[in-house]
Structure 1
């Protein structure tokens, strides 16, 4: 871990805000650090493998993208406004591994030790918090925003001000999407990603889309008609087979589009002043020592000359 230069935010008119998908990093950290069933634990038996991985991912991203501000967003339980709309939403998800459960609260303590705000609200997903804050800091306040995640659903948030960083396999391996790269690589605009999910569904989130419509057909339809609304308005122009499939699942199509849409007006907020990236490394050192992250403690001692 290298020293990270802190920007004097007061002297910078436009900030660079990093919005972190906390669960995405934590789950990735858990599975990346459970080789052959081995789980890193403290001497009192507290599992910490997911947190260790989380910290490594977080610091690498901060070193790479050099934010002036950092905020971490979290899911706050499985029941949200989406499960009220569709009871099977994410109902296929297995329970979290037992060793991961105590790390949910501990990781937030680690985040706080860096001076990073933890943001989440019951009834909404982390995606909705990230979407809401990305609009606030991007469109409304004129900052540059980077969203750090492994979830391609976040691509719908891409704008001229908001870039989405998809974590790929391997250390320091990122795909960064702005409107131009999104269009060049995926053929679709950010908003069309919502309609794509409405058409094909999402097996991970457990909503079906239109039965019999795959990604290739869905992309073709969106390129030809622009949106779900455009497709529905031009049903008579579709092949007999595709028309029949959409008509049979029209109600589900509209519901799945709602489920796929990240809600960007969630009742959540975080003042930009609270998110300045300016950690007190002595506080971090104490938390790493508590969690017995010996290799990271040595790096913190080097940075702060703690003896």
Structure 2
């Protein structure tokens, strides 16, 4: 099976900015988010050894969710300007490396990921790893799609599979939207049903499977739970819809253009030198050597005569 890695760029940018103290080039350019992002990117390439890779980003401006719900993400504290100022440089690093970037106005990076996952689902021999610290993509997890959540650089990674999604949330990936419809998502300011928390949501979904199934059995529930669900029916359906990632965007995906065989190591080394990423240059060179050895091994295996 081939492996396609999809990186949630914005999630890694925020992670890098907050994990690394202020860092500047000799010329005074702030680069802590750039350094953090690039460090994880190299870690992903080394650990995952993907056949294909792409990075998605949020586009500046409101999304279709803001049009539906003005309070979407309203409780989040705006990131410092120093973070946003580093995004163009991060995109430059990705582009110089030869990694395709996908982004669409009015949509979030997660929507772009969902659409790409859907397109890749038509391929029979590709496993997808979504690299993000965001849990919104857990609804996409299946036997061929996992989510890699970095905990320390990209050395320590927790992988969300169908089994581990259930272990962490108490619901299956295909129930994540129903779960959010019931208990909402405080990080995105999605309301859910007032008075219904994660424990009640998982208990209800364990018994009735879906949000529709729960509402079909209101008479079987305790008076208090029934009352909360009756009052919150509209909010439950709205919250579920708001949480659903868009998977049918008009995005052209040329899989071969995302091949790691086309990465530009020499050009990337030059931009590392410009950014004074001295500690990353050796990692980049090692990565190139490892990739070359991997390709040679794969070519050797391919040319071995079959015994059967």
User: Is the shorter-chain TM-score for this pair beyond 0.5, marking a shared fold?
Assistant: yes
1:222 aligns with 2:183: no
1:285 aligns with 2:278: no
Q: Quick check: 288-297 or 192-201, which moved more?
A: 288-297
Shift of residue 46, structure 1, vs aligned partner: 1.4
- Equivalent residue number for residue 130 of structure 1: 113
TM alignment of 1:4-23, pairs within 5 A = 14-23=1-10
Q: Quick check: 175-184 or 253-262, which moved more?
A: 175-184
TM-score normalised to structure 2 length:
0.88
The count of residues paired between Structure 1 and Structure 2 equals 288
1:164 counterpart SS class:
strand
1:26 aligns with 2:13: yes
In 2, the alpha carbon distance for the partners of 1:304 and 1:199 equals: 48
- Equivalent residue number for residue 225 of structure 2: 242
In 2, the alpha carbon distance for the partners of 1:160 and 1:303 equals: 29
Query: C-alpha deviations, 1:43-87, integer Å up to 9, x for none?
Result: 222111001011111111221111000000011124111111111
- Equivalent residue number for residue 203 of structure 1: 186
Conserved 8 A contact 2:47-2:154: no
In 2, the alpha carbon distance for the partners of 1:119 and 1:20 equals: 10
Go from structure 1 to structure 2 and tell me whether the alpha carbon gap of 1:63 and 1:198 turns closer, same or farther (over 3 Å shift). same
Shift of residue 167, structure 1, vs aligned partner: 1.9
Q: Give the one of 192, 215, 218 matched to 1:232.
A: 215
TM-score normalised to structure 1 length:
0.89
Shift of residue 169, structure 1, vs aligned partner: 4.5
Shift of residue 154, structure 1, vs aligned partner: 1.1
TM alignment of 1:99-248, pairs within 5 A = 99-140=82-123, 142-169=125-152, 172-248=155-231
Taking only aligned residues, the RMSD between alpha carbons, in angstroms, comes to: 1.8
In 2, the alpha carbon distance for the partners of 1:275 and 1:113 equals: 13
In 2, the alpha carbon distance for the partners of 1:233 and 1:304 equals: 57
Go from structure 1 to structure 2 and tell me whether the alpha carbon gap of 1:15 and 1:33 turns closer, same or farther (over 3 Å shift). same
Conserved 8 A contact 1:139-1:161: no
Consecutive unaligned residues in structure 2, runs of 5 or more: 290-308
In 2, the alpha carbon distance for the partners of 1:291 and 1:135 equals: 36
1:166 counterpart SS class:
strand
Shift of residue 33, structure 1, vs aligned partner: 0.5
1:168 counterpart SS class:
strand
In 2, the alpha carbon distance for the partners of 1:169 and 1:238 equals: 43
Shift of residue 183, structure 1, vs aligned partner: 3.3
Conserved 8 A contact 2:110-2:245: yes
1:24 counterpart SS class:
helix
- Equivalent residue number for residue 73 of structure 2: 90
Q: Quick check: 120-129 or 96-105, which moved more?
A: 96-105
Query: C-alpha deviations, 1:264-297, integer Å up to 9, x for none?
Result: 1122232101101132211001111121212223
Consecutive unaligned residues in structure 1, runs of 5 or more: 1-13
Query: C-alpha deviations, 1:77-119, integer Å up to 9, x for none?
Result: 2411111111100122222212112111110110112110111
Shift of residue 141, structure 1, vs aligned partner: 5.1
Conserved 8 A contact 1:33-1:50: yes
- Equivalent residue number for residue 299 of structure 2: none
